[in-house]
């Protein structure tokens, strides 16, 4: 969704039977629009779809937990996108379901602890790739060890280097987790 479209949607506030604006059509404040844009850019860098950034951003900058249909109305995205985006965010632990008394709908709130966000991203998005990479590397090692070509020495050197990279990558993830987990000092 473009910024223009979002602003346009924000303008359209209908009045319901009781004469109050529909709760789910409360327009976004300027600051909310800006924060959502910030998250849209951030998730693009992480390789995630825009809708995921919009949803997380909206929840991050909303004072109350929101149900799916309100997210759909405020962002002007489809129910399908919202449902998939919320599932993704829930799986990552970036969003938490929370029940609201007297409301059957499931509400969601953003998890805002950096440590938790990073842990979820690492285990959900990074580790699977690291693991599949480890398998591939294992296979490559096999091939290298039985290689008898003119360049066997060179190949084995390169493969050793790949192993070294992977080892360091794993160490780095641990360092990152440790750093983000500690309480901030100075």
Partner DNA sequence: AACTTTGTTCAAAATTAATTGAACAAAGAG
Partner DNA sequence: CTCTTTGTTCAATTAATTTTGAACAAAGTT
Alpha carbon distances (Å) from 99 to 71, 106, 130, 139? 16, 6, 36, 48
143 binds, among DNA, a copy of itself, none (CB under 5 to 8 A by kind): a copy of itself
Return the residue of 36, 59, 61, 77 that touches DNA, per CB under 7 A: 77
Beta carbons within 8 Å of 120's beta carbon, 6+ residues apart: 92, 93, 94
Stretch touching DNA by CB under 7 A, among 44-52, 141-149, 152-160, 177-185 = 44-52
Q: Report the C-alpha gap between 63 and 91 in whole angstroms.
A: 22
Q: Report the C-alpha gap between 174 and 180 in whole angstroms.
A: 10
What is the number of residues in the chain? Answer: 186
In contact, 106 and 95? CB cutoff 8 Å: no
Antiparallel, parallel or unpaired: β 95-99 and 66-67: unpaired
Stretch touching a copy of itself by CB under 8 A, among 14-22, 77-85, 96-104, 144-152 = 144-152
68 binds, among DNA, a copy of itself, none (CB under 5 to 8 A by kind): DNA
**Which residues, numbered 70-109, are part of the site for a copy of itself (CB under 8 A)?**
none
Q: Report the C-alpha gap between 56 and 116 in whole angstroms.
A: 14
Chain contacts with a copy of itself (rule: CB under 8 A): 29-31, 34-35, 37-38, 41-42, 45, 47, 60-61, 63, 112, 114, 126, 129, 132-133, 136-137, 139-140, 143-144, 147, 149, 151, 154-155, 158-159, 161-162, 164-165, 168, 171-172, 175-176, 179-180, 184
Chain contacts with DNA (rule: CB under 7 A): 1, 44, 47-52, 67-69, 76-81, 83-87, 103-106
């Amino acid at each position: 969704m473009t910024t223009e479209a979002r602003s346009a949607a924000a303008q359209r506030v209908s009045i319901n039977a009781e004469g109050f604006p529909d709760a789910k059509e409360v327009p976004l404040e300027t600051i909310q629009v800006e924060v959502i844009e910030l998250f849209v850019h951030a998730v693009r860098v992480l390789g995630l779809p825009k809708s995921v950034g919009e949803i997380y951003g909206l929840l991050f900058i909303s004072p109350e937990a929101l149900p799916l249909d309100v997210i759909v109305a405020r962002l002007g995205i489809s129910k399908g996108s919202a449902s998939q985006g919320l599932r993704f965010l829930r799986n990552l632990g970036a969003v938490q379901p929370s029940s609201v008394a007297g409301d059957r709908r499931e509400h969601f709130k953003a998890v805002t602890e950096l440590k938790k966000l990073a842990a979820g991203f690492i285990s959900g998005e990074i580790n699977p790739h690291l693991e599949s990479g480890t398998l591939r590397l294992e296979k490559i090692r096999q091939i290298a060890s039985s290689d008898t070509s003119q360049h066997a020495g060179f190949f084995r050197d390169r493969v050793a280097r790949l192993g070294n990279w992977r080892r360091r990558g794993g160490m780095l993830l641990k360092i990152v987790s440790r750093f983000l987990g500690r309480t901030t000092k100075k």
